[in-house]
């Protein structure tokens, strides 16, 4: 910041940002806020990652209001006035913040990945006893920088779009005791769970349903978070691949078949593009469970979207497929709590949607469980899986509305409606 105009622009931007941050809405209290308290009170750098517009800035505001009591600096690096901010000027930024707000020991940095080399400043001041809470929309970029310079100094929090409980809070839906429900209350919850599948949990899209928030967000991720960051030129191949994945999620996909279908040149190109999309939080890749890493790598993948409403808005489908949307929602609910999630194929080639190997738990998603042939197929797959993985700790079928307990040989299968399972 060599000249006086840039200094004044920086001061103006920082002052306006801080004032806007203080008066902005805190929205629906996120379920992660309790977890955040322990992290904020630790000496670790707190890292909040997640999709654009999933609520990271609002979550920062909730953290500040509950845990920091105005004893912090706030800088939003998405501000176009800071678009060319160089890492070499972080000391000047610090001086400017002190001049504006006095000495404080906590920095809130929003969308930090926009500044190349930011981690050097963070590490240096962290070593001096300063606290950092940072957000970023690119998991790969953050992990690379933390891996090289900030190892052992950070704790990551992944912020997803609204959970079902948060969605209900946004809709001002008063929850009642699920153990004692009237038929009308049950009907309302089933309807709410279907609305959640169709609308998803991206806050702005729920707040302004008349606007094309999903499509705008989707294009921002493709062009700003992926194409620009990885120098992909006109991004046509990326756009074709993303559209294919959105239109087919959740389904088994073969990278080799995608390469041929979309004429993408090589399997490595497909893999790289999928990695970029996953790092930008648009999609998640689930591998087949296998003891052999090679088998995991060559087997077909399952692709899930970060939000059911977003995927519905940008993908192609002849009709609303609540079964696929429900499976995607089940995955997201599991992903909020577990890192190691696989799909499972038995020796007879029966499929179970989700397997958590550390917990030895199977979860099947089945919208039409009350259809006899579908019920038999799902239970057959679970029975075969239970034989292969003796004494599983849990077996669950998530359904649209059915609830029952099934005893199958030595296994107990809990059948739960989606609304109840999501609220567990």
Residue with tokens 């199958």: 408
Residues near 332 by beta carbon (within 8 Å), at least 6 away in sequence: 160, 304, 306, 307, 308
| In the chain, where the domains are located | 4-158, 207-422
pLDDT along the chain (424 residues), means of 10: 65 96 94 91 92 94 91 94 90 96 96 89 94 87 70 88 98 91 94 97 96 96 91 90 94 94 92 94 96 87 97 82 95 96 96 97 97 96 94 95 91 96 94
Fold for 207-422, please state it.
Answer: Arc Repressor Mutant, subunit A (1.10.10)
Which CATH class for the 4-158 domain? alpha beta
Q: Are 104 and 70 in contact (CB under 8 A)?
A: no
* CB-facing half-sphere around the CA of 238: CA atoms within 13 A: 26
Domains 4-158 and 207-422 share a fold: no
Task: Count other C-beta atoms under 10 Å from residue 275's C-beta.
Answer: 13
Q: Are strands 411-417 and 404-408 parallel, antiparallel or unpaired?
A: antiparallel
Q: What is the distance of C-alpha 141 from the center of its chain?
A: 16
Give the bridge partners for 416, in sequence order.
Answer: 398
Measured CA to CA, the distance from residue 29 to residue 43 in angstroms comes to 24
Measured CA to CA, the distance from residue 104 to residue 9 in angstroms comes to 22
**Residue 299 exposed, middle or buried by CB count within 10 Å (0-12, 13-18, 19+):** middle
pTM above 0.85, yes or no: yes
Give the bridge partners for 352, in sequence order.
Answer: 344
Measured CA to CA, the distance from residue 162 to residue 170 in angstroms comes to 9
Q: What is the dihedral of CA 37, 40, 42, 44, to 10 degrees?
A: 140
Task: Count other C-beta atoms under 10 Å from residue 378's C-beta.
Answer: 23
Residue 370 three-state SS = coil
- Of 45, 233, 74, 221, give the one whose Cα is nearest residue 142: 45
């Amino acid at each position: 910041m060599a000249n006086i105009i840039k200094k004044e622009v920086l001061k103006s931007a920082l002052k306006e940002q801080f004032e806007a941050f203080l008066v902005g809405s805190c929205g629906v209290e996120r379920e992660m806020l309790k977890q955040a308290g322990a992290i904020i009170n630790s000496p670790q750098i707190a890292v909040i990652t997640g999709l654009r517009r999933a609520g990271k800035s609002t979550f920062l505001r909730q953290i500040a209001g509950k845990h920091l009591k105005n004893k912090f600096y706030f800088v939003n690096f998405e501000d176009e006035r800071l678009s060319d901010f160089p890492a070499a000027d972080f000391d000047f930024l610090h001086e400017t913040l002190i001049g504006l707000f006095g000495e404080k020991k906590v920095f809130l940095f929003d969308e930090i990945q926009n500044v190349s080399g930011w981690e050097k400043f963070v590490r240096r001041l962290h070593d001096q006893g300063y606290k950092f809470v940072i957000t970023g929309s690119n998991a790969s970029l953050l992990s690379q920088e933390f891996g090289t310079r900030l190892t052992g100094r950070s704790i990551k929090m992944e912020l997803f779009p609204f959970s079902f409980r948060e969605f209900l809070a946004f809709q001002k839906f008063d929850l009642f005791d699920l153990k004692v429900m009237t038929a009308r209350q049950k009907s309302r919850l089933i309807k709410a769970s279907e609305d959640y599948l169709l609308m998803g949990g991206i806050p702005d899209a729920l707040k302004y349903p008349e606007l094309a928030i999903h499509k705008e967000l989707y294009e921002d991720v493709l062009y700003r978070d992926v194409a620009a960051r990885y120098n992909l030129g006109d991004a046509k191949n990326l756009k074709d691949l993303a559209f294919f994945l959105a239109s087919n999620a959740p389904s088994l996909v073969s990278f080799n078949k995608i390469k041929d279908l979309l004429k993408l040149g090589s399997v490595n190109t497909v893999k790289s593009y999928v990695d970029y999309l996953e790092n930008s939080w648009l999609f998640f890749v689930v591998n087949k469970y296998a003891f052999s890493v090679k088998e995991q790598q060559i087997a077909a993948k399952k692709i899930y979207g970060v939000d059911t409403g977003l995927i519905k808005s940008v993908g192609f489908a002849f009709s609303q497929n609540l079964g696929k949307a429900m499976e995607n929602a089940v995955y997201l609910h599991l992903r909020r709590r577990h890192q190691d999630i696989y799909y499972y194929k038995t020796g007879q080639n029966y499929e179970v949607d989700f397997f958590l190997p550390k917990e030895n738990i199977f979860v099947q998603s089945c919208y039409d469980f009350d259809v006899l042939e579908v019920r038999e197929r799902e239970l057959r797959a679970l029975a075969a899986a239970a034989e292969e993985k003796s004494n599983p700790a849990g077996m669950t079928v998530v359904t649209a509305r059915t609830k029952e307990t099934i005893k199958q040989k030595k296994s107990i299968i809990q059948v739960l409606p989606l609304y109840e399972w999501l609220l567990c």
